[in-house]
Structure 1
């Protein structure tokens, strides 16, 4: 869920609590995908009542994850939001000794993965994209044998590639055909199902 960019991470239990709600995670993804959005747009995106969405947005704002974007408002009643430069990220080892934090971190990860794959399913079932986008979109998985250090190095190298392409999002004059593109990266160990180590 975390973007490196020029962001700051948050690891406190208070921040975890603020994020530890499935609807807030859906709102976070919806706002990130939209870049800026009104409460009513986000309510439609997550299929929840405006009042409920407003409450959860205020909680995300209170803890610094989103911020108002008043430059987009057409009048004083219209409330626009955008992500702040604060992201929720933590090292697994930092929450292991605190059962409450560990439980919230697990819930956040599981809710985030559910939202990621909901969006993937939405794309797979959509008929709105032309063949160029359908051919460019990709999904890959596999298994390789690595040490813990090598897995961490692989992650760093993959993120360096992502950051190179993320820099294109900052172009002042984007070429025709630019769309918001979501990427999903997971790398984790799996238990071998046999004694075969070759």
Structure 2
């Protein structure tokens, strides 16, 4: 059995970020694939064994999920980094991934796929916030001895141009942090999750689902 030909990723010529399509969003529905994709960069080759060690999963399972990500066009093979023909090495398909406004009307199915993906992203973010606040309480009471997170919040008046500038600055800061993480050091390293969030304070809450409606 051969793999289906992968989808061709479409990268923004200015930023290099890949615009997420419905097949990509469907592929990212699995939590392991989202986790793996977080660890992928366009200039850092990864093997299934490397990623398996990072996520604590069997290498054959990681290989399967990598093939699904490749089929959707989220990652691509990097044969120039392979040791031989059997050695499969992967990199991210672009410098990042983004959801941009469509150029025309989208189908109801495509909108449902996007909504499902964003709902899962929200659940992941809620879980992260719950873990951070639990640690913060232990830190504030003296029960936690090491730094495990940092929270910075603020409310500022900005124009849309200001927000675009701020978003770009945060993206560059994350890129510099990734570069710094590649510097060899004798100090122990752990995986740290980075999230930047800039939002209009007047964003309305989403409509509540009717518990009596269809599932």
TM above 0.5: yes
1:100 aligns with 2:112: yes
1:20 aligns with 2:40: no
Partner Cα distance (1:29, 1:115) in 2: 16
1:79 aligns with 2:88: yes
Greater mean alpha carbon deviation, residues 48-57 or residues 158-167: 158-167
Q: TM-score, normalised by structure 2?
A: 0.57
Tell me, which stretches of 5 or more residues in structure 1 are unaligned?
Answer: 125-133, 192-198
Partner Cα distance (2:112, 2:55) in 1: 27
Change (3 A) 1:22 1:168: closer
Aligned to 2:76: 67
Q: TM-score, normalised by structure 1?
A: 0.60
1:51 aligns with 2:54: no
Change (3 A) 1:116 1:86: farther
Q: Deviations 1:56-108 (Å, cap 9, x if unpaired)?
A: 11111112111112222223322211112274321479999845224323145
Change (3 A) 1:161 1:90: closer
Partner Cα distance (1:9, 1:34) in 2: 15
| Higher fraction of helix | 1
Select the structure with the greater relative contact order (CA < 8 A; seq sep ≥ 6): 1
Q: Deviations 1:28-49 (Å, cap 9, x if unpaired)?
A: 1122399211111111211222
| Shift of residue 157, structure 1, vs aligned partner | 2.9
Q: Deviations 1:110-163 (Å, cap 9, x if unpaired)?
A: 366479779x99xx9xxxxxxxxx99x99342231546xx36632433414643
Counting matched residue pairs gives 174
Greater mean alpha carbon deviation, residues 59-68 or residues 78-87: 78-87
Change (3 A) 1:185 1:151: farther
Q: What is the SS of the residue equivalent to 2:18?
A: strand
Change (3 A) 1:103 1:181: closer
Tell whether the 8 Å contact from 2:77 to 2:88 is kept in structure 1 after alignment. yes
Q: What is the SS of the residue equivalent to 1:31?
A: coil
Tell me, which stretches of 5 or more residues in structure 2 are unaligned?
Answer: 1-10, 137-145, 203-215
| Shift of residue 12, structure 1, vs aligned partner | 2.8
Change (3 A) 1:92 1:109: farther
Aligned to 2:143: none
Aligned to 2:16: 7
Partner Cα distance (2:82, 2:175) in 1: 27
Partner Cα distance (1:165, 1:26) in 2: 17
- Give the RMSD, CA atoms, in angstroms: 4.6
Q: What is the SS of the residue equivalent to 1:32?
A: coil
